[in-house]
Structure 1
Amino acid sequence: MAVTPGHTAVTSGSNGTRSAPSRIVAPIELPASGDELAAEAAAQLGWDAVLLPRLTMFGRRVYVVARLRPEAHAERIALGVGPVTDRASVSTWTWPELAASAPPPAAEIVGVLAVARHWRTGLAATVPFARYGDAAMVLPHSATLSHDYVDNCLPRARAYGLAVVTADENATVGLDLSGRDERITLGEDAVSRWVNEVVYEQLLALETPADAH
């Protein structure tokens, strides 16, 4: 069998037949850094608070937009209780016998977002947080130009109440899907308390200059 220059012939096995490899599709690239796109998306969504550096929680890489709760923060200072990020310890705060003595949540989480090249990655990252409040994913505009996005992504995003922000080749962002305010969210539990403590720690770290230690 003749092989066209520039193509690699592949032998299929016992029958000796050969076939050319399938065309490789170049991966979709982000038009700017994740930090830049997250900041632009937060502004587009009207999330007026502090954008924290990207965090990894539950194996998901996300950006959290949050602010301190002044009264709760002041109470924590008075009690001498800083952020507690040990999950086992935080989980006890929801026990009936300990709930009354647990420190108050000192962070207000405005929203959680993920910057991803593909909607499936963005969905997997944000759905766990959408159960507790506003969440969104930021995608390259070119990633939304497919039947897969329209037929599979948008119905799932609507079901979970996720917002979708797109970024064109110039990194200009636009809102493609608004999140649902009327969706049912979970109340406070051990997971949300732990996330709040992680965010609280990050907010304090931003307020404390590095040379103050």
Structure 2
Amino acid sequence: MSRSAGNTAAVHKNAKTLPSRAVPAVELPAPSEELAVKAVERLGWKGVLLPQLTLLGRKVFVVAELLPDAHAERLCFGVGPVVDRTTVATWVWPELAGKVPPAAVRIVGVLAVAKHWRTGLASAVPFALHGDAAVVLPSSVALTDDYLSNCLPRARRYGLSIVTADPDGTVSMDLAGTPEHISLEQTAVTRWVNEVVYEQVLATAS
């Protein structure tokens, strides 16, 4: 072995013995499902809390309520949930106005449970323009300068609610969302999300 190789090996060996200053990873104080139940109650959302699902590439919890009249109409015409995005995309065409099935559920709110506020906002913001949206975060995250300086201004901008979870699993409202941001315009995306949620509501009921 050359002298340089021996020195390199010695350096590598010594490097392994240096003390590590790794920051402990932030963990959720309880399973996501349990925190979602508590957060929905704290937020006062009324409806069916669906199991966590992936919408628009984000893992979220949705609270929705079935619209009895619209659901009955769709049953009469044999039109169940339509989750094919290409088909649903045509429903907003002007020439199909009045010819597409009515939305059979109302999405009360969309909730993201995350360990970090950036992940939570990335999951919740796409839904915030069309309804109530919220994020559940560990309470330790809400004590950082990063949260105060960067998370809260962004959450206020999009009208998001933020619920924090203490180490014992107790949840508290840290920021109440505002409804002024909500748009009532139906788009191909919102109609498709509504159909996916409609399917999940029926599956949960059965």
TM norm structure 2: 0.91
Aligned CA RMSD, in angstroms, stands at 1.7
1:138 pairs with one of 116, 121, 136 = 136
Mapped to 1, the partners of 2:133 and 2:124 lie a distance apart of 6
Match of 2:160 in 1: 162
Matched letter for residue 66 of structure 2: L
Mapped to 2, the partners of 1:125 and 1:8 lie a distance apart of 43
- Between stretches 143-152 and 175-184, larger displacement belongs to 175-184
Mapped to 2, the partners of 1:73 and 1:104 lie a distance apart of 8
Match of 1:120 in 2: 118
Is the contact made by 1:9 and 1:21 (CA closer than 8 Å) also made in structure 2? no
**Which structure has the highest helix share of the two?**
2
Match of 2:51 in 1: 53
Mapped to 1, the partners of 2:97 and 2:111 lie a distance apart of 29
TM norm structure 1: 0.88
Match of 1:197 in 2: 195
In the alignment, structure 1 residue 30 sits paired with structure 2 residue 28: yes
Mapped to 1, the partners of 2:46 and 2:109 lie a distance apart of 10
Match of 2:84 in 1: 86
Q: Deviations over 1:8-60 (max 9, x none)?
A: 617xxxxxxxx957621111111110000001000000001110000101110
Match of 1:102 in 2: 100
Match of 1:65 in 2: 63
Is the contact made by 1:8 and 1:21 (CA closer than 8 Å) also made in structure 2? no
SS in 1 for 2:94: coil
Q: Which runs of 5+ in 1 are unaligned?
A: 2-6, 11-18, 209-213
Mapped to 1, the partners of 2:112 and 2:94 lie a distance apart of 34
Match of 1:151 in 2: 149
SS in 2 for 1:97: helix
Is the contact made by 1:140 and 1:168 (CA closer than 8 Å) also made in structure 2? yes
Mapped to 2, the partners of 1:88 and 1:171 lie a distance apart of 42
- Greater than 4 Å deviation, 4+ residue runs: 19-22
Q: Which runs of 5+ in 2 are unaligned?
A: 1-6, 8-12
Match of 1:211 in 2: none
Mapped to 1, the partners of 2:178 and 2:194 lie a distance apart of 22
**Residue 177 of structure 1, CA deviation:** 0.1
Mapped to 2, the partners of 1:190 and 1:183 lie a distance apart of 19
SS in 1 for 2:25: coil
**Residue 206 of structure 1, CA deviation:** 1.1
In the alignment, structure 1 residue 74 sits paired with structure 2 residue 72: yes
Q: Deviations over 1:35-90 (max 9, x none)?
A: 00001000000001110000101110000000100000000000100000000000
